[in-house]
Every structure is written in C-alpha cells, then in structure tokens.
A and B are shown apart, each in its own frame.
Chain A
Amino acid sequence: MAETISRALRDGAFEGEHAPALTIKDTINTPFGSFVFNHILTQLTSNILAGKSQARGVVLVALSRPPSFYVELLKSKGFDVTSSSKWLRVLDCYSDPLGWKSKLMERGTVRNPYEETILKTSLCKNLKELDKALSSIIELGKEIVEEGNGRFAVAIDSVSEILRHSSPPSVARILSHLRSHDQVSCIFCLLHVDLHEAKVAATLEYLSTMHADVEPIVQRTNGQRNTSEDLPMVEQCFKRGKFHVRFKRRNGRVKVMREELYVEGSGIKFTEVSSADGLTAQGLVPKVQFNLELSEKEKLDRAKVVLPFEHQGTGKPIQIYDGRKSLNESETEEKQASVDKPQTPEDSGRGEIIYFRDSDDEMPDSDEDPDDDLDI
C-alpha cells in the first residue's frame, strides 16, 4: 500500500488537474509520522533518479529537522549526496525561522551561527511571512527544472510547525496554491494531529487526495496520559502501528487500505494486517497461571472427537430417518439386507425395526391427537 502511495506520487499530476497531495498524520502515542515521511521521501527520490517519475526533483521544506539530518538519511539509503544539487533543493526553515540568529550576528554576539551542509539550501528567516516562503519554494523548484515545462515535487516535513506561526486559513491557502501551480508534480506533508484542533486536520484532508493515518495498534481505552499503568501497551505502540490510507478518486470514490507498520533497523516495514494480529493478541493476554491456549497436538486431538449424536457410519452415507423414506427405497434395502444377512452372521445379533408408512399423504409425526374424536 505504501507502494500505491509512492506510485501515485511518482505519476504526478494529470493535465488539467491539481497535483496529488498526501497528508501523513500521527499522534504522540505512535510517533512514526516522520518515519513514514522519510520512507516516502526516499522512495520518491529513487524514482526521480531512475527517471520514472513525473517530477524532476524535490523541494524539501525542512521545519522540524536540520538539513544535516537529511544528508545523513540520504547517505544511509545509498544516494549520492554530492550530486544532489541536480534533484534536491532544501528550504531551511529549521535553522533560523524567526531571524534571531541573524539579529545576534548583527549585534556581534555570535560569529557564525549557521551550519554548513553539502545540500543546496536556501534559508528562510521569517516563517511568519508565508508568501515569501511560498515564492522561495517555487523559485527553488524552478532552479531544478531549469527549462520551462518540467515539474517538481514539494515535501513539507512538518505542517504543525508552520501552523504554530500562522493561521490555518493562510496555511491552507499556501497548500492549495502549491497544488494548483502548474509546475508542481505532487506534494506530501506531515501533521501531528494532536497538536491542533480537529478542524485543522479536516481542512488539510480536504486539500489532499490521499491521507495516511498512523494509529496505535491498540487504542488505549482510558484516553489518559498515565503511562505507568499500561507499560506493555505503550511499548507495543512504540514499535508498531496501524497504517490507514484513504485514497480519494477524482469521481469521489474513496478507497481505504490498511496495513501494519514496524519500526525496523533504520526504517520502517509494512506488512499485511492479518499476519501478525494473533501475535499481538497473544502478547497482550495477561500472564496467568493456567493454560488458556491449546498446543498443536491438543488441537488435532480435539478435532478427532466424535460428538455423541454424530452418525458413526464409517465411510457409509449418513442416513438419519426423517420419516419420509419412500416405499421403493425401503424395499430394495430390505432385499439387500436379506441377501447380505447369511454372509455376515455376526450381524444377526442386531435388532431391527421395520416400519412401512401407509401412504405419503399421511403427515409424519403430526401434532394432532389421533384419539381426538374418541367419545368415551
């Protein structure tokens, strides 16, 4: 399913449509949103490098991580970072979002507060002016595509951070502007839902064609933040989560897909939901003195037990008398029985009740009292 997302982002925008947009949402209980973001970023990057995607490069808006983090990330995934200027531009809103560092530098308090990186970055010194940020995103994108017609992707690593500085309507305006820009191929961004009101998440959902929810594997019932009481569950939530994706088609159809995600090694892994459900359930069953589970042998043994009223005719067709057997059938059976009898003397000890119904018209086992009309 993560592949489906990557494919949709790779294919990019259709002619005359807005660019596809993905919103990744997480909460503090399962803080894997950034893992998913990084996963999708690296997938898109490899697609771009392979020339498979519509986008020719990525403009990464770094708000919650420094550019050096992304250098490490790309290096660890085996990308050649030194040649990244062809396909990657970073708008660095992390290092100095309010211009404090440049103010301090002017005052002479500090000498060189900025970090050097090998990525091609552009510094955003006033995040409150979103329009400027928007125009620098587009400028950076144009740098990548160089000549007129190419398209680029936009990745925003935390919308929550922008929302702290600006109002939701202005953020929504920027996002829809980016989506409708004719050189943007796709957008994806991360949102920490629990930091905002529900309406903010809803606004962003309307603006996106796909949303990926990272949810805890087991919803905590009390909704409390008291972690010491359900430690095993908290531990589970730190390792894995449910991954729900909703795709909105152009015609309005919505497709929902579910997967499970694990944090593993330097990244995440997606698996089918069913495969590991049992394991989770087993892990969550409280440890008790007596055995609640059956072993394989016990399961087999249980399957062999024949229930009391089950017919035990080994191999023979099961015949349970329903009172409707026709005359012909019983006659043939009788003949067979008489033929068989001499050959199987051991059967002679068996008793037999032979009953012929008078006619088929008669209702078997009717509820009526047969002696109803007796007049004593």
Chain B
Amino acid sequence: MDNSRANLLEEAIGIGIGKGGRVVVVEDCVETSGAFVLHHFLKRFLHPDSSDVVIFIAFAHPFSHYERILRKMGCNLTVHRKNHRFVFLDMLTLECPERNGREAREDGLLALYGEIEKAVEIYSSLEGSRTITIMIDDISLIEVAANGSSNHMLDFLHYCYTLKAKYGCSFVTLNHEDIYSSANTLQLILQTEYLADVIIKAEPLATGLASDVHGQLTVLNKGSVSEFGGSSSKVRNFHFRVKENNVDYFYPGSQT
C-alpha cells in the first residue's frame, strides 16, 4: 500500500484536514480486535515528515509488544523514543491499592494525569508547530486500575480531554464495547461516545468468518463545530484485512 496516500480510514476521519484537537474512540469486540487501528495511527503520527509527538499510555501491553509490531510496519519506536517523539508510559504496574480507600485510588489516576500534563507542557513549549497525540490502550483497563470505579475513569478522561482546549492535543483511545453490553453499564460507553468526535467500530462481518476479509470498520464522524465552522457528520463503512505488515481497507465487493 502506498504510504503517502490517505487510505479509506484516514479519509473517513479526515486526519489531513483537522489537525489536532480531536477525540477518536476505537471500539472493538472479542471477535474483532481493533488494536490494529491504534498501530495504524501510531505509525501515521510518527511519520518521518512530521514532528508530531505521541504520548502512549499502555495498560494492556509492554513496550516490546508495540515495538515488535511497529518495526514490522517500518517504524522504529526505540529511535523515536530517543528522539523524544514517542513517550511511553507503562501502566502495567500501576496499581491503586486501597490503603486509604477512595483517596488512594483517585491519587493513582491523579498522578498519572500529572505525568501526562507535564509531558504535554514540556513538548508544547518547544518551538515548532506540532500536534501532541495522547493514545490510551485501553480505557477498560483504567477502570481495572481504579478498582472498578467507572466514575474515576471518567474523571480521568475528562481531565485528559481538557488538554484539548489549551494545547490542542488529539486523543486516540481503545475501548471494548461488548464488556459494557448489559443495560446498567451501557452508560459508560455512551459517556465516552458523547465525548468523542470520531467513533470507529470494529466488528466482525454480519455474514460470518471469511478468509480474505477480517472484519468491518464503521466510522461515525460527528464533525467538529469549533474548527470547521460547520458540522459535516459522515458515516462510512468498509472492510479490512489485516496483513503481516499493513492493513488493507476496501469497500465491500471492491476486492477481487
């Protein structure tokens, strides 16, 4: 696939047009993992032509995991880390023990937010125009880290999103839709959807498994009033095929 050309996914999101200040939520399910979308964006943002910075908050996997995947895609995370374009916050070890009950739990996320904001403050003070993107893999594990308090998780997300107003940060987050499928917890995923500008859903094909199509992506682009002076919401749906070192996106039936 030609790297310089925007593919269907980027077209649907409009990454080229709206630089900065957008919240993208990727929702996947057990049958179809959406992690490849994160990898795709990671590679896009760390493109050698730009000077964008990515702050990656990993609850799910260690650094070596992402490094291996991205290397196959032709992007060396270790080098980017040295060049201060990639900040990796390993949260696998983050635990918010219940020493003092609520206080301690909130404190863990507060400290994490402090680290993020500090990094954002440093990078935005450097000269040159750059977009800082904050990626979280994944949101449901924040809840686990906060000992199941969804409200703390939402507080944390709210604070992260406040960075959008001052620094123009973008966000890409991954969440699992099916773990919120009962009526009581559905509100949680709705909360994150209300806060999002773009929602990307990764689902299996309605017709079942296929060898050459691995699933479908539905992109709901709510548009952003503040930046474009108008809302141009779009809904797109296309299929994808995850290959060894890249992903093909195509409209249903267009692949021979």
From the candidates A113, A164, A229, name the one contacting B206 in the complex (CB within 8 A).
A229
**Least CB distance, B235 to chain A, in whole angstroms:** 4
Interface size on B, residues (CB 8 A): 39
Is B220 positioned at the interface, with any CB of A under 8 Å from its CB? yes
Chain B binder among A103-111, A274-282, A336-344: A103-111
List residues of chain B with CB within 8 A of the CB of A66: 162, 164-165
Q: In the complex, which residue of chain A has the Cβ closest to the Cβ of B199?
A: A227
In the assembled complex, the Cα of A290 lies from the Cα of B221 at a distance in Å of 34
Is B113 positioned at the interface, with any CB of A under 8 Å from its CB? yes
Q: Are B117 and A234 neighbours in the complex by a CB distance under 8 Å?
A: no
Q: Are A110 and B121 neighbours in the complex by a CB distance under 8 Å?
A: yes
List residues of chain B with CB within 8 A of the CB of A109: 114-115, 117-118
**Least CB distance, A91 to chain B, in whole angstroms:** 16
Is A115 positioned at the interface, with any CB of B under 8 Å from its CB? yes
Chain A binder among B12-20, B49-57, B78-86, B189-197: B189-197
CB contacts under 8 Å to A, within B12-70, are none
Chain A binder among B93-101, B140-148, B226-234: B226-234
Given A68-B165, A110-B118, A239-B190 contact (CB < 8 Å): no
List residues of chain B with CB within 8 A of the CB of A31: 194, 222
Q: In the complex, which residue of chain A has the Cβ closest to the Cβ of B188?
A: A195
List residues of chain B with CB within 8 A of the CB of A239: 233
Q: In the complex, which residue of chain B has the Cβ closest to the Cβ of A111?
A: B121
Q: Are B121 and A195 neighbours in the complex by a CB distance under 8 Å?
A: no
Is B105 positioned at the interface, with any CB of A under 8 Å from its CB? no
Is A334 positioned at the interface, with any CB of B under 8 Å from its CB? no
Q: Are A263 and B231 neighbours in the complex by a CB distance under 8 Å?
A: yes
In the assembled complex, the Cα of A69 lies from the Cα of B113 at a distance in Å of 23
In the assembled complex, the Cα of A226 lies from the Cα of B31 at a distance in Å of 14
Is B203 positioned at the interface, with any CB of A under 8 Å from its CB? yes
Q: In the complex, which residue of chain A has the Cβ closest to the Cβ of B177?
A: A225
CB contacts under 8 Å to B, within A187-226, are 192, 194-196, 225-226
Chain B binder among A2-10, A94-102, A176-184, A354-362: A94-102
Is B218 positioned at the interface, with any CB of A under 8 Å from its CB? yes
Q: Are B162 and A228 neighbours in the complex by a CB distance under 8 Å?
A: no
Which chain A residues have a beta carbon within 8 Å of chain B's beta carbons? 28, 31, 35, 38, 66, 68-69, 72-73, 76, 94-98, 100-101, 103-104, 107, 109-111, 113-115, 160, 164, 192, 194-196, 225-229, 231, 234-235, 238-239, 263-266
